[in-house]
Amino acid sequence: MAQLEVGDRAPAFTLVDQSGTKVKLSDFKGKKVIVYFYPKADTPGCTTQSCELRDHRKELTKLGAEVLVISPDAPAKQAKFDTKYKLGFPLLADEEHVVAEKYGAWGEKSMYGRKYMGIIRSAFVIDEKGKIAGAFYKVSPKDTVPKCKAVLEA
């Protein structure tokens, strides 16, 4: 799948969060949204990335942004991750990676010489009109907040 670029319409989605509630991107119409994809809940990089967003949530809220997280984990695993780290934002289950594919966040990866398909750690800032205002592929867990804040402050 091709990667999204600034100005593209953000692909619509409806996914179930860690408590079993359906969450639609359209629920956030008129608001800025940070959507980020991580490979697996409660792993070192994903924990760093999620806790960074949790720790900067007040700043992001002041900039008018909501946070949505998407991974291929089941809702029960997302719930344990949320409880363990008190994240407090929707962790959405994309078990069939349909949404990740639409966002270009699903692709070939390589580890120890082995190639496989998986989540490409990515973050997106979506503006109030549903357009991509920032797209960051292969973003480092520590760079997610600064990159998203820079777009929100622009």
CA–CA gap between residue 84 and residue 112 (Å, rounded): 30
| Distance linking the first and last C-alpha atoms of the chain | 28
Handedness of CA 67, 121, 22, 78 (dihedral sign): negative
Residues annotated as catalytic are 46
CA–CA gap between residue 58 and residue 11 (Å, rounded): 26
Q: How far is CA 60 from the centre of its chain?
A: 14
Q: How far is CA 56 from the centre of its chain?
A: 15
Residue ranges of the alpha helices (H) in 1-153? 44-55, 57-62, 75-85, 98-102, 144-153
CB of 102 closer than 8 Å to CB of 124: no
